[in-house]
Amino acid sequence: MFEGLTVVTEAVKSQSEFVPKLKEQIRKVLVGQEKLIDGLLIGLLANGHVLLEGVPGLAKTLSVKALAAAIQADFQRIQFTPDLLPADLVGTLIYNPQSGQFSTKRGPVFANIILADEINRAPAKVQSALLEAMEEKQVTIGEHTYALPEPFTVLATQNPIEQQGTYPLPEAQLDRFMLKLKIGYPTKEEELQIMERMAQTSRMMTIQPVITPPEILAVRKVIDQIYLDAKIRDYIVNLVMATRNPQGFQLDLADYIEYGASPRATISLAIAAKAYAFMQGRAYVIPNDIKTIGPDVFRHRIMITYEAEANEISAEHIIQTIFAGVPVP
């Protein structure tokens, strides 16, 4: 085992050299927001999709565009609106009256990185069309099924403060996202940097490509080999079980949790922790990796009860209590 771990360690060290360079390119247009940058990279490296939630003006869209430029990937930004149709997303069949035949016109979903801007503004049919593509990595147009390009990552944004004209994502659809990142306001020092950098009529920020999509696919193979000890696997499962049966872990949360995390949470947490360990240059996962990325994996997968809402107990508080209460190996 140790010989195998040595080989993986060398592979991780050589393959992860691009991570600091990639972050440096994104920081050209993004001030602070280290957790956002890490979350975007984890989603990309772990073959998962990421939901970004934050008030307007926090550079959610800008960060995604910078990431796409830095990995030299095909990028499509789709502005979700109430009048959007599934065909506007995945494509449709076009009839040619001269030949009497239909030809396929592929939609913007055929790209490596999709920015679904304000995903909660589109009706359920459009959301379902995108989420089906996310899950199956393919799209059916007419009688033909087309595979989406690899890597394929959806980075969706939503605004938590506006409720008019929005269609909130159901819990079953939210579960398709590996991570949900909550974007907060910058500090005073960061705000000053933002003003100095962005308060001008012309913004010329050149992002240099650092890595290509084929190289990302090669990196994913290395991430799959990262060592996950039996005690770490047991810790991940215990955390998920604590969201479903908190009494079993002496946590007084049963009255506040309607539904706990699904098996997708177990899978997502394991893969995301491997990706995070890779970004740190390690060939093995440690408990701190789980604690760091775990809240982003659980945040959108725990449904709270009316009693929790009445007592002003949020899902964030429940997650913190679970991570504090479940024994660490």
Residue ranges with strand state E in 97-238: 101-106, 113-117, 138-141, 144-147, 153-158, 179-182
- At 202-247, the pLDDT tens digits run 665 677 888 888 889 989 999 999 989 999 999 999 999 999 988 8
- pLDDT over 70 (residue 164): no
pLDDT at 232: 94
User: Beta partners for 141?
Assistant: 144
Residue 308: per-residue pLDDT? 84
pLDDT at 1 over 50: no
- CA distances to 80, 123, 196 from 118, in Å: 6, 11, 28
**pLDDT at residue 137 in the model:** 87
Strands 101-106 and 91-96: antiparallel
Pairing of strands 113-117, 75-79: parallel
Q: Which pLDDT band, with edges at 50, 70 and 90, does 178 fall under?
A: very high
Residue 67 CA: distances (Å) to CA of 9, 36, 140, 189: 26, 11, 28, 24
| CB 18, CB 210: distance < 8 Å | yes
**Closest CA relative to residue 131, chosen from 64, 201, 178:** 178
Choose between 328 and 170: higher pLDDT: 328
Enclosing H/E stretch for 258? strand 257-259
pTM: 0.86
Q: What is the pLDDT of residues 263-292, one digit of tens each?
A: 999 999 999 999 999 999 888 999 999 999
pLDDT at res. 313: 86
pLDDT value at residue 2: 46
Residue ranges and CATH numbers for the domains of the chain are: 18-198 (3.40.50.300), 226-325 (1.10.8.80)
**How many Å apart are CA 104 and CA 90, to the nearest integer?**
11
In this structure, are residues 250 and 20 in contact, taking their beta carbons and an 8 Å threshold? no
Task: List pLDDT tens digits, range 148-163.
Answer: 888 898 888 887 765 5
User: How many whole angstroms separate alpha carbon 214 and alpha carbon 212?
Assistant: 6
Q: Provide the β-strand partners of residue 179.
A: 50
- Whether residue 201 is predicted with pLDDT greater than 70 in this model: the reply is no
Question: What is the tens place of the pLDDT at every residue in 52-64?
Answer: 887 776 677 778 8
Query: What's the pLDDT tens digit per position in 101-131?
Result: 777 788 888 988 888 888 888 888 888 788 7
> Kind of pairing, strands 179-182 and 138-141?
unpaired
Report the pLDDT value the prediction gives residue 248, as an integer from 0 to 100.
86
267 touches 227 (CB < 8 A): no
Question: Rounded mean pLDDT of the chain?
Answer: 84
Q: What is the DSSP string of 276-321?
A: HHHHTT-SB--HHHHHHHHHHHHTTT-EEPHHHHHTT--HHHHHHH
Q: Are 269 and 297 spatial neighbours (Cβ–Cβ below 8 Å)?
A: yes
